[in-house]
Amino acid sequence: MGAPRKYKLSQKRVDSTARSRLRRHIDRAQKSNDLSTWKRARAVLAYVGGGSIAAIGSELNADPSTVSRWIAAYAQHGIPALSPAKAPGARPKLGEEQLEELGQLVEDGPLAAGFDCGVWTGRLVGELIRRRFGVEYHWKYVPELLHKLGFSVQRPRKRLSRADLQAQEFWLRKTFPALKKSQAARRNHPL
């Protein structure tokens, strides 16, 4: 193995003001349930308090090399280095202009896009993206992508084409409540 790491951070170099800042940072992390920040700040405070890296790692259930990285990051960048950075994630497959174009294509409808049905589905939009932009998206992700573009899932309702709307209204307002009352009366009737 290599030589042990040398830290710029030591118990003598960290004054009481820096220690109280670390304690406040630990308290804020605990109140906001931020375990990662809490562990990192606790490790640094324990180290400047004279604790060994191995003992700190054991106490916080962290690998000693991880504790060493936290201490080195604090030594170099201060308290901001104790909050974990959000992972950047993968680059989007479609650029901003392509997303705008996709939004317009979806707005125009599947018939205008060359499909022979009148309703968009996740699989159909995925196929549109593949044909138009040469990019593959899993069909289960497509609704999330469309939601980011401002679209929402719409489910068609089944209605009879020749239904009598007045008869339906009468049934809902008069017949159905009467049926419910008669059922309740039969349940409550002692035999």
Q: Give, in order, the Cα–Cα distances in Å from 154 to each of 23, 62, 105, 175.
A: 51, 48, 17, 31
d(CA 175, CA 187): 19
- The predicted pLDDT at position 98 comes to 93
pLDDT recorded at residue 1? 45
Closest CA to 94 of 84, 86, 85, 106: 106
* Predicted TM-score (pTM) of this structure: 0.46
CB 60 within 8 A of CB 42: yes
pLDDT value of residue 69: 92
pLDDT of residue 8: 59
Q: Along the chain (191 residues), what's the average pLDDT of each consecutive run of 10 residues? A: 52 75 91 92 90 91 92 89 83 90 92 88 92 91 90 76 82 85 72 57
Report the pLDDT value the prediction gives residue 59, as an integer from 0 to 100.
92
What is the distance, to the nearest Å, from the Cα of residue 44 to the centroid of all Cα atoms in its chain? 30
Give the pLDDT of residue 2. Answer: 47
